[in-house]
Every structure is written in structure tokens, then in C-alpha cells.
A = this chain, B = another copy of it.
Amino acid sequence: MDIRKVFGANARRFRLALGLSQEAVAERMGVDRAFVSSMERGLQNATLLTIWEISQALGVRPADLLEEKFSKVRS
């Protein structure tokens, strides 16, 4: 399991469930859209503080973003 891919897939799923664009999430976080895009593709080795910011932008718990059972990432 690549935790970066699980994290990214979860972030994407929660974003889509809210009907938000990557742009909208990026704006909430004060980061660039490209960061949100690469994060959702599992390319970012995000830190705890970034995980916290994304969880607040998406209105979910930080732990939810690391739940393997949510993400449909093939390990």
C-alpha cells in the first residue's frame, strides 16, 4: 500500500462528494491548484500540518484521509 496514493484518492473522493473543484479546494487551503492535483494523484509526501489543512478544507477528520477502506487504490 502506498500511503500517498491512499491519501490522494481519499482527498479526491471527499472533494468530489462535496462537488468542489480542485481550484476551490486549493483556494480554501491557500495553495496552488497544481499542488491539489499532484496530491490527489499520490505524488505528494504531505506532512501532518498539510494533512490537517486538507482535512479542514474538506470538512473531514485527518484520520479519514488515511483510511484504506475508503480509497479504491489497488496496492
Contacts and interface: CB of A to CB of B under 8 A. Distances in A.
Interface of A: 3-4, 6-7, 44-49, 51-52, 61-64, 66-68
Contacts of A44: 48
A58 B43 CA distance: 25
Contacts of A45: 47-49
A62 B52 contact: no
A62 B49 CA distance: 15
A3 B48 contact: yes
24 contacts: A3-B51, A3-B52, A4-B48, A4-B49, A6-B62, A7-B48, A44-B48, A45-B47, A45-B48, A45-B49, A46-B47, A46-B48, A47-B47, A47-B48, A48-B51, A48-B66, A51-B66, A61-B66, A62-B66, A63-B63, A63-B64, A63-B66, A63-B68, A66-B66
